[in-house]
Amino acid sequence: MNFDILRVLPELYQLLLVLGLFVQTCAPREKWGEVTWVPAAAAVGLLVSLVGLGAGAGETTLMFWESYQVDGMSQFFKLVISLGFLVTVLNGMSQPTLADEKRSDYMLFLALSAWGLMLLASSVELVLIFVALEVSSYSLYAIVPLRARERRAAEAGLKYILFGAAATAISLYGLSYIIAWQHSTYLTDLSRAVWSFADAPMACIGLGLFLCGFFYKLALFPFHFWAPDVYDGTSNETAAYVATLPKLGAVVILVRLAAMLEPGIEVTTFIAILGALSMTFGNLAALAQTDIKRILGYSSVAHAGYVTLGLVAGTAAGLSAAAFYALVYLLMNLTCFWVVCRLAQDGRNLHLDDLNGLFKRAPGLALILLVAAFALVGLPPTAGFTGKLYLLSSAWDRGYDWLVIVAAVNTAISIYYYLNMVRHAYTHEPETAPDGGAAVAVHPCSLAVGGLLAASVLLLGVLPASVFDLVQAAGQALLP
């Protein structure tokens, strides 16, 4: 068994952070709210993930009885997970709807979920994949309802658990079909098996059912029903995490499965159809929303559809585009949620009218929101444009012309509801806002973090080559 501690340093450090938070929850009650050290620890974790990327990006290493693979793709996603965890921890430090005595528990479950996602990034055995997925999920089941004085939070938590349990059951059922037909749970063995419906019908059905658990995490149609309600009911800070990081775990597994299993035309066509339906339904449903978190909830359904463009392509360019877009999606949404959390300092849900006159009340936040909205649409020079361009070109090269056209039409539809947020912020007078146009007090450090997020979205759009080349090399290494 090969073992190099530098290659697994990110997940080991994250586990150490989890244990530290667990010890704090066992401390006297007056210590439970003292979590000011967590952002610094998360920042160190980001640096550790950079070290892990440097140590593991060059070659592929199988560990722990060939069930755990460290390669460029896994290390890239661990770095992105660490980045997302850092931003969500910073976001959650000022959560107004969370009691002080629950803050250490809250941070513990966030850290545990991120650790599960890191394990998921390197898992190449179906049972381990399933266990890592559940570790990341159960933590979120605990924190989604944590929103004081909001009955909707309990409803959101219940829906998240019930839909998650259903997706888990379906995935387990599919896993049993795969084991019965292919007699193995190791992706290295399954990559040599046949995955066409004509030769292995039960295996293909099992694979489709197993993927349902990841479609649920990705909020792909028709596994999306939980997303708008959960985003709406839970706190703004928790929604920022639920809307971004779990999708990274889903994307990395889907990329790995698409590369190693080489599914037949039946499976790829099925995913392409779900992607087209997801894009269309998500964008059309978002048009009718006025609650910003519900808008972002339905938009996440549409973005899940965009990711399928790279998955169905199945080439190094397509898989790399899907991984690159996962990073872009994380940055775009965290930027948008950062603005939402700074505006809703009392923890309430924001509506479009709450953005009225934002350019006068908080010009810095208005500019950050503008960059995020432009990126979510896919307008140049943002990373949203570059990411979609990579996805569309990879699908077009593989002959999925109809799916590219559907994606282009849906991008045009999304212009309305994304830029509607910008319209409220820049063309409406502050006096028309529900709070009467009061100025928004923003701490300079909060504004600086939001500015860095917006700058990263622009930088990835203007200079994407270095990051995309890294991801493309990792994607090429995945292919047999």
More confident residue, 396 or 154: 396
Confidence tier at 327 by pLDDT (50, 70, 90): very high
Average pLDDT over the chain reads: 85
The helix or strand, by DSSP H or E, that contains position 70, with its residue range, turns out to be strand 68-70
The pLDDT of 386-408, averaged and rounded, is 90
Statement: residue 279 has pLDDT above 80: yes
pTM score, whole prediction: 0.91
Statement: residue 439 has pLDDT above 90: no
Q: Lowest-confidence range among 171-175, 299-303, 388-392, 425-429? A: 425-429
Q: At 386, list the tokens.
A: 């570059």
Asked if 84 and 248 count as a contact pair (C-beta separation under 8 A), the reply is yes
The pLDDT of 124-132, averaged and rounded, is 88
Q: At 19, list the tokens.
A: 């244990």
Phi, psi of 239 (to 5 degrees): -60, -35
Per-residue pLDDT reduced to its tens digit, 59-87? 777 777 878 888 888 889 999 999 999 99
Statement: residue 335 has pLDDT above 90: yes
Asked if 125 and 66 count as a contact pair (C-beta separation under 8 A), the reply is yes
Cis geometry, peptide bond prior to residue 263 (ω within 30 degrees of 0):
no
More confident residue, 270 or 35: 270
Collapse the DSSP code of 362 into the 3-class scheme (helix H, G, I; strand E, B; otherwise coil) and give the result: coil
Collapse the DSSP code of 125 into the 3-class scheme (helix H, G, I; strand E, B; otherwise coil) and give the result: strand
Per-residue pLDDT reduced to its tens digit, 196-233? 777 778 888 888 888 888 888 888 888 888 888 888 88
Cα gap 31→29, rounded to integer Å: 5
Cα gap 409→303, rounded to integer Å: 13
- Which of 28-37, 93-102, 387-396, 429-438 has the largest mean confidence? 387-396
Cis geometry, peptide bond prior to residue 228 (ω within 30 degrees of 0):
no
- State the Rg of the chain over Cα: 21
Collapse the DSSP code of 173 into the 3-class scheme (helix H, G, I; strand E, B; otherwise coil) and give the result: helix
Q: Tell me which residue of 137, 123, 15, 89 sits closest to 338, measured CA to CA.
A: 89
Q: Tell me which residue of 131, 132, 209, 208 sits closest to 166, measured CA to CA.
A: 209
DSSP string, 432-467: GSTT-SPPPP--HHHHHHHHHHHHHHHHHHHS-HHH
Q: Lowest-confidence range among 6-20, 178-192, 319-333? A: 178-192
Q: Tell me which residue of 210, 282, 274, 218 sits closest to 245, measured CA to CA.
A: 218
